[in-house]
Amino acid sequence: MNRRRFLSATGSTAAALTAAEYSRVLGANERLNVAVIGVNGRGKAHIRAATDNPKTEVAAVVDIDQAVAEKAAALAAQQQGRKPKEYGDLRDMLQDKSIDIVTVATTNHWHALATIWAVQAGKDVYCEKPASHNIWEGRKMVEAARKYKRIVQIGQQSRSTPHKIEAVRRLREGAIGELYMAKGLCYKRRKSIGVRSTSAVPPGVDYDIWLGPAQPHEFRENRFHYKWHWHWAFGNGDIGNQGIHQMDVIRWGMGKDYLPAEVFSAGGHYVYDDQQETPNTQQALFHYGDSQLAFEVRGLHTGGECGLLEKTGSRANTIGTLFFGSNGYMVVGGNGYWTYLGEKRSPGPYKEKTGGDETKLHFANFLKAVQSRRVSDLNCDVLEGHLSAALCHMANISYRTGGRSLKFDAANERFVGDAGANDLLKRDYREPWVVPQEV
């Protein structure tokens, strides 16, 4: 099916509905029908969030792996008492006008196209992080959401996490003084993916759809389920996998609603002799003029920093964000936030994590905006997701161009005077899986 026929079949009648009209269509007590695309990993959390919420029901699951789709449908049935439809091709699901919401938990390289197609079909979208696989298509996601008047939330759940919301409020109130620097830490232990030969595609897998926008690659086990994160055609390394959460907290806490003027990133893939393409050790610096943002990835054995390893109770991983100000510093992790003030680093305001599933809280916030039709109700609108993902992409582009310091034109989202860097702003899409110039 070509794109014109696909859009004609799905239509975009719902795209211009007001909040009042939307309520009349759904009815006061009717549940919203949800379709989950990609149900091998994070998609399971999407299913649990949707089945746990009284406002929604999982009406469809979509996956290119038939066995995975069957297991996900069984999970949904167990959770809600009704089995959803199963699809192998998202385009077939998008033609179903009874689907109100689409959630996207695919490989990174599918996020943008799945989201754009969904909003063109009149669906609201909850899309996993990172919003995009590259900077150009991230901006297209924003354009599509606005054009079709759809609600699009990106799955950066920190923005719906109570202790992190309070931490950012404290920063804005001046708890540690004037902010001059923030640093994101992704010290997450990763094992080698090894060396594998190409092999036959597993039974029940539609590998052509899985490849989607990417150019042809022969099937290889260590770039398929989850391990695709470590290959540039499909993922964005750990800075765009785990690190996007911390990158988003950095930008949120520092109040940066625009991209920086300069980026530098260097590192490498050390120790392991395997087929991973992305770095397991990476440092990045972003220059904003009035402050500096830093990020570090360590996938090998390492210690912690600023007590964060001990605060999280982890034996291997140090994951969080550090903020530095004129009066002290703040440590923000998964288990809480803590401040240390003055020359003696005296303990200041803090909050430890309380109960509540972060994905479910974030999904509930998304539903609030779906019902109100107000983008302002979203904790992480697609624009916020785009900007935070773009920081990760900028770092990777600097790394991939040999660790060059790159000047950036934030207004036009292009690098200044560097054709090689600009070539990496967008990918060469494979027909018919093409993010269009005009969404």
| 138 and 190 both lie in a single domain | no
| 146 and 168 both lie in a single domain | no
| 374 and 255 both lie in a single domain | no
| 206 and 182 both lie in a single domain | yes
How many structural domains compose the chain? 2
Task: Judge whether 437 lies within some domain.
Answer: no
Which of 281, 241, 276 is closest to 265 using CA atoms? 281
| 150 and 267 both lie in a single domain | no
Task: Judge whether 19 lies within some domain.
Answer: yes
| 187 and 331 both lie in a single domain | yes
Rounded to two decimals, the pTM is 0.93
Task: Judge whether 177 lies within some domain.
Answer: yes
Task: Judge whether 429 lies within some domain.
Answer: no
In this predicted model, what pLDDT tens digit does every residue of 405-435 receive, in sequence order? 999 999 999 999 999 999 999 999 999 999 9
- Residue 91: domain span: 3-159+359-381
| 179 and 153 both lie in a single domain | no
CATH number at residue 44: 3.40.50.720
Q: List all residues 6 or more positions away from 252 whose beta carbon is below 8 Å from its beta carbon.
A: 158, 159, 168, 384
Profile the chain (439 residues) by mean pLDDT over runs of 10 residues.
48 46 49 97 96 97 98 97 97 98 98 98 98 98 98 98 98 98 97 98 98 98 97 98 98 98 98 98 97 97 87 79 98 96 97 91 98 98 98 98 97 98 98 97
3-state secondary structure of 249: helix
| 28 and 146 both lie in a single domain | yes
Please give the pLDDT value at position 49. 97
As a whole number of angstroms, the distance between CA 397 and CA 395 comes to: 5
| 135 and 172 both lie in a single domain | no
CATH number at residue 261: 3.30.360.10
Please give the pLDDT value at position 22. 47
Number of H helices, E strands in the chain: 14, 16
Task: Judge whether 267 lies within some domain.
Answer: yes
| 282 and 236 both lie in a single domain | yes
Mean of the per-residue pLDDT values for the chain? 93
Q: List all residues 6 or more positions away from 146 whose beta carbon is below 8 Å from its beta carbon.
A: none
Please give the pLDDT value at position 313. 63
Please give the pLDDT value at position 181. 98
